[in-house]
Amino acid sequence: MRFSVKYLPTTLFSLKDSNATNSGAKSLFLPSPYAIKMAILNQAITVGGEFERLSSNNSKQFKFIRDTKINYYIEDGSYFSTNNSFVKILKPAREGGGFIQTVSFREYLYLSSPLEVIFEVDIEEQAQYLKNYLHRINYFGKRGCFFQFVEYIDSPAEANVVEFNAENIGFGLLQGYDDFEANAKFENANIFTSANAKRVQKVLVLPVIQINSSKGYCVYKKK
């Protein structure tokens, strides 16, 4: 079963690659499957009060979220503008404890069109569970990168962001996107436990080309 959700970005978007350092990081162009699933978990806990069910052994609800396949459709004529910024951040002090202030590089993206996220699920119950919370999500990536829910689409178009295949290379921008590992448990997503996060990264090809750039920005367009 497939359905999609459209979100309209209302602010600039930023989500650094999980392999990037804290002092310098380019942004992904899209919320990763991992970030989207964490946003669903957040809504299920804070709005749905489902912490007990999600954290139980062999949780059906957690599997609904973890096992969902996520793809993307970028509208024709969409623009992505990356803005290079230097921001002040806090990092742990090497001596004496506490934190010190330093400068870090970040990218913030302007997305000109709504983002369509395509969900592939196994059963109707799984789709209905996700739809309980998807329309409640209001940000992805860094806190403050707001998105507005637009609509559900029951018959979405085929995804045009595809996984990189060395035997069938096409044009586009390559970026690494994280997702949950197939055997991840709730404790691996819970930052208040000592369990390590279980992520798998896939390289995706975004159907965009660079059309303009300068020292402070780059503009990409969907072809």
The tens digit of pLDDT for each residue in 202-213 reads: 999 999 999 999
Give the pLDDT score at 39: 95
CATH number at residue 190: 3.30.70
Provide long-range contacts, Cβ within 8 A and 24+ apart, for 164-170.
164/202, 164/203, 164/204, 164/205, 170/205, 170/207
CA dist list (Å): 189 to 78, 200, 218? 33, 13, 34
pLDDT at residue 187 tops 90: yes
The tens digit of pLDDT for each residue in 68-89 reads: 999 999 999 999 999 999 988 8
Which whole number is the average pLDDT over 179-206?
94
Tally of domains in the chain: 1
Give the pLDDT score at 18: 82
pLDDT at residue 167 tops 90: no
Give the pLDDT score at 120: 97
| Residues 68/120, Cβ–Cβ less than 8 Å | yes
The tens digit of pLDDT for each residue in 9-47 reads: 999 999 988 888 777 888 999 999 999 999 999 999 999
The tens digit of pLDDT for each residue in 87-111 reads: 888 888 888 888 999 999 999 999 9
Query: Rounded to whole angstroms, how far apart are CA atoms 113 and 223?
Result: 14
Which whole number is the average pLDDT over 191-219?
94
Query: Rounded to whole angstroms, how far apart are CA atoms 1 and 122?
Result: 6
More confident call, 172 vs 142 = 172
**Could you tell me the residue range of the domain that residue 194 belongs to?**
2-222
Query: Rounded to whole angstroms, how far apart are CA atoms 108 and 126?
Result: 33
Give the pLDDT score at 203: 95
Give the pLDDT score at 168: 81
Give the pLDDT score at 75: 95
Give the pLDDT score at 27: 93
